[in-house]
A and B are shown apart, each in its own frame.
Chain A
Amino acid sequence: MVTRRLTLKLGAAAGAGALLQPALAQVDPPPTNGLMFPEGWVPSWKSHPSPPVIPFTMPLFQMPIAKPVPLSQLNPPPDPSCHQRWNDFKPQKYYIQTLSEIKWMYASNFPYNQGSWSYGMNGIIPGETFVAKYGEPLFIRRINNLPPVGQGNIKFALPSSTIHTHNGHQASESDGFPADFTFPGEYWDHHYPSVYAGCDKLGNLVGDPREALTTLWYHDHRLDFTAPNTYAGLTGFYLNFDAQDSNNENDTTPGAFRLPSGKYDVPLILHDVAFDKNGQAAWDFVGAVPRVNPEARGGFDSHNTTYTVNGMIGDRFTVNRIIQPFFNVERRKYRLRVLNGGPSRLYSLAFTMDGKTPEPVVIITNDGNFIPAPMPYQDYVDIWPAQRRDIIVDFSKYKKGDKIYLTNRLESRMDGAGQTGRYLQTNDLIMRFNVVGGAVNNDPSRIPEKFRDMPPVDLSEVRREREWKFDYTNGLWTINDKLMDPNRVDAHIGKETAEIWTIRNDGDAWSHPIHTHFEEGIILEINGKPILPGDIRYGRHDTYQLGPGDEIKFFGRWRDFVGRYIIHCHNTVHEDHAMMATWKIDGAGFPPCPSFDTGEPGGIANACKPESPSIAPTGAGSKTIG
């Protein structure tokens, strides 16, 4: 967790004197990197940088909204017997998304303008944005039309895919489980019920509106190849709306949030990418090493023999797969949905005019969740891989011609394993907002005083506590000293029960963005300290910032569907090297405690714990918060 305190403690040199130049990360020699690799691992682009780009000359790509197709277009038709609760949540809209190899233009100058081979979805990267409405279930057929192994132009990715809608409340068989993959010529059917969590407990088919999710995304989750497959292009947004967050800034219905909508609601996915001299995206596990016949490899070359599994850091910042784009904005409010699409780089982001001083904004979400009330904010906010923040930026206070930069100050380790503990001397300018036009006097959008109440934390629901230890064992990324085996269930969870999970990073030199699927968690404590309203980290999460030595305790409920899901590191390079574990929701109710198959090593708290007053975040004898 990169708090300002920690960063300073680690000896960060704040970015004093940062210049407004389009330079990428200006870093000191790579730091000592802990237990794994010899000091000095450097990526290939340190010796052979990606071809130059004149920044802020290409406009931001705005992904189109996915369009439904008639049911009759699905041939063969969907098979309801393949899906849990099909009739409860019968799809009202149907979509087809085809994966194929495409050429994508990351920048307008040579060689990028020759096109970079990518894994596209319906012909673009990122893929189309799915817009879902609670109460309106969706069905998406994903067709794998990628070229078979050896037949395509992309060599580092595997033409086999499973697509996960990140933390959607969907059944296991539609979740994008890592082993549920397709091969070329195959398709997978996904059923998205668009239901608030908690419907079974409430005895209806609506669920608890406090469980509403907002900004989700979808991405490849293929066993062993998630990082290269997402890097190749298999990512996109999935946005949820309901009566409050109604996707209509003119909505006069009482209770409607009236947040900026339409073209003023802009998803932004950040990926850092390295390119070879031909402008082709290059995957770089090995780093800068002399290679035999480098010309055949796009000119990558130079000095290390260690094949890193720490991560993948690119030297070109892309937003919606355009290198350092610009975006013309009117003088009014925008809802900017910022997502770190990985694979490994950590960001600490702010909107700045001078490349260093944060402008005032309003933060409204945390991952896929509204925070209870808008948070005026004038600082950098940490966004790790898979994390999201919806941020309202009011451009009305700027003059025509002003330029505002999405700016990163956090220095990542060159091997991709986490942060160095320092801020950059010269910040990264990720994209630019050009303020255009005259004053807008009729901005109908609003920022309400409050959003949704948090679902309550009722400790009497807690059936057990679990601990997930993230570590590095014998050169391998492990969870509770084990590697991912999709055939092994490490935690059986009773449906309609609650648990408290503690996730802990036993390493002292690397960072893990930890994601657990399907249900949100409410953070109770970080490193033994309660997280209270007003803290930027307060609220519901699906991805947790687990920095060196960090320990996070959260409360969660597991409801409505059964089957296998996973918890994993969302540095997808770690994930691909088996830092992942399977948990399973068992049928109705919950098995008696003695029959639990724990899967955890001895010494880890596995005992059923009906209640645990000591972990009540607000103390005062109350078992309920929120």
Chain B
Amino acid sequence: MNNRRKFLINFSSGAAGMMLAGAAIAGTDVVAKEKAKYTGQTSLSTDMLHGNGDFPEVTVETMNGETLHFYKDLVQNKVVLIHYMSIRNEAAFPIVGKVLQIAKQFGSKLGTDVHIISISSDPKYDTPARLRVFAKHMGIPKKGWSFVRMSGESSTLVASRMHGHAHMPMPMAAIDLIQYGNETVGLWGGFPANIEADDAVLRVTSVFPGKPVSGPLRRAGPRPLGTPGMNFNNRVA
């Protein structure tokens, strides 16, 4: 068992003794309640989706205790990876560990070309204090990666946008998709959390803002049989 796994297990099992933050999260959701179906009527004018990617706007609490707008502050005009996680589930389903592998491949592009948002699906347990300890232990880069939590209602709204059920995400997920997109364009996709990091990086860079192409055409593939390349495709290395 490596140190990280030991930490996660210890962290989870020792959780009961830690102070619970309680249900309340600072800030008020700007997204209103469920609306009338079929009729087109809405209960509040603020009950809207934002941007090219059709995101709800909710408030979130970061691991540093700040209150931010999910869409305006974290998603708008960015290339973003978004996923749900929970500290107590990381040992069983190491999604943060996977995203960390991806982040390391991005290197200095993290925080400039691409950003990561990790949303707690266990917000009562995943207090800012715990998220800070967790992030430090995992070795999460400080730049370009936000750990946040939000109220159950807000989380339900965001989960609905993130290809999930229209209810609060389950903290103990065993499989999941990581959403990625270029919100400036409104181009969004999702990849399974268990794919290889180089596969994920290739997918995410696919939605980076493009530049006009010049020069001769490049052979993408297939590469010569038996020559090295990525395991998951036949592209020329």
User: Are A and B genuine complex partners?
Assistant: yes
From A159, A182, A225, A483, B189 is in contact (CB under 8 Å) with A225
Q: A82-B222, A82-B225, A285-B54 are in contact. Are A483 and B194 (CB under 8 A)?
A: yes
Binds B, one of A108-116, A169-177, A233-241: A169-177
Question: Is B141 in contact with chain A by the CB < 8 A criterion?
Answer: no
Nearest Cβ distance between residue B220 and chain A, in whole angstroms?
4
A174–B222 Cα distance when bound, in Å, is 8
Question: Is A585 in contact with chain B by the CB < 8 A criterion?
Answer: no
B51 to chain A: closest residue by CB: A292
Question: Is B162 in contact with chain A by the CB < 8 A criterion?
Answer: yes
A297 to chain B: closest residue by CB: B52
CB <8 Å contact, B195 and A474: no
CB <8 Å contact, A185 and B40: no
CB <8 Å contact, B196 and A487: yes
CB <8 Å contact, A148 and B210: yes
Question: Is B184 in contact with chain A by the CB < 8 A criterion?
Answer: yes
CB <8 Å contact, B38 and A303: yes
Main SS of chain A's interface residues? loop
Question: Is B234 in contact with chain A by the CB < 8 A criterion?
Answer: yes
A155–B99 Cα distance when bound, in Å, is 26
Q: A181-B220, A305-B157, A577-B163 are in contact. Are A158 and B196 (CB under 8 A)?
A: no
A184 to chain B: closest residue by CB: B213
A residues less than 8 Å from B56 (CB atoms): 305
Binds A, one of B5-13, B130-138, B200-208: B200-208
A285–B196 Cα distance when bound, in Å, is 27
Question: Is B175 in contact with chain A by the CB < 8 A criterion?
Answer: yes
A residues less than 8 Å from B39 (CB atoms): 303
Of B31, B34, B186, the most chain A CB neighbours within 10 A belong to B186
Q: A82-B224, A186-B220, A474-B174 are in contact. Are A151 and B210 (CB under 8 A)?
A: yes
Q: How many residues of B contact A (CB 8 A)?
A: 74
A306–B221 Cα distance when bound, in Å, is 38
B residues less than 8 Å from A307 (CB atoms): 54, 160-163
Number of chain A interface residues as a range: 35 or more
Q: A38-B166, A286-B54 are in contact. Are A303 and B185 (CB under 8 A)?
A: no
A residues less than 8 Å from B199 (CB atoms): 179, 485-487
Q: A478-B175, A485-B192, A487-B195 are in contact. Are A289 and B48 (CB under 8 A)?
A: yes
Question: Is B143 in contact with chain A by the CB < 8 A criterion?
Answer: no
CB <8 Å contact, B185 and A47: no
Question: Is A183 in contact with chain B by the CB < 8 A criterion?
Answer: yes
A30–B38 Cα distance when bound, in Å, is 9
A residues less than 8 Å from B235 (CB atoms): 179-181
A74–B225 Cα distance when bound, in Å, is 20
A478–B176 Cα distance when bound, in Å, is 10
Question: Is A268 in contact with chain B by the CB < 8 A criterion?
Answer: no
B residues less than 8 Å from A297 (CB atoms): 52
CB <8 Å contact, B203 and A224: yes
Question: Is A538 in contact with chain B by the CB < 8 A criterion?
Answer: no
Nearest Cβ distance between residue B124 and chain A, in whole angstroms?
20
A155–B173 Cα distance when bound, in Å, is 32
Nearest Cβ distance between residue A79 and chain B, in whole angstroms?
7
A residues less than 8 Å from B17 (CB atoms): none
A residues less than 8 Å from B157 (CB atoms): 305
Q: A38-B37, A307-B54 are in contact. Are A159 and B210 (CB under 8 A)?
A: yes
A180–B194 Cα distance when bound, in Å, is 19
Tell me the chain A residues, 140-196 only, with Cβ under 8 Å from chain B.
143-144, 147-151, 155-156, 158-160, 172-174, 177, 179-189
A160 to chain B: closest residue by CB: B206
B residues less than 8 Å from A306 (CB atoms): 160, 166
A576–B191 Cα distance when bound, in Å, is 9
Question: Is A288 in contact with chain B by the CB < 8 A criterion?
Answer: yes
10 smallest beta-carbon distances between A and B, as pairs: A148-B210, A40-B37, A185-B213, A483-B192, A173-B222, A224-B189, A179-B233, A186-B220, A486-B232, A487-B232
The chain A residues found within 8 Å of chain B, CB to CB, are 29-30, 36-40, 42, 46-47, 76, 79, 81-84, 143-144, 147-151, 155-156, 158-160, 172-174, 177, 179-189, 223-225, 285-286, 288-292, 297, 302-307, 309, 473-476, 478, 481-487, 576-578
The chain B residues found within 8 Å of chain A, CB to CB, are 31, 34-42, 45, 47-52, 54, 56, 157, 159-166, 169-170, 173-177, 182, 184-187, 189-192, 194-196, 199, 203, 206-215, 217-225, 230-235
A474-B173, A578-B177 known; 18 other A-B pairs, CB under 8 Å?
Answer: A30-B38, A39-B37, A83-B222, A148-B213, A151-B212, A158-B187, A177-B233, A183-B220, A188-B220, A289-B49, A290-B49, A302-B42, A303-B42, A305-B47, A307-B161, A474-B174, A474-B175, A485-B194
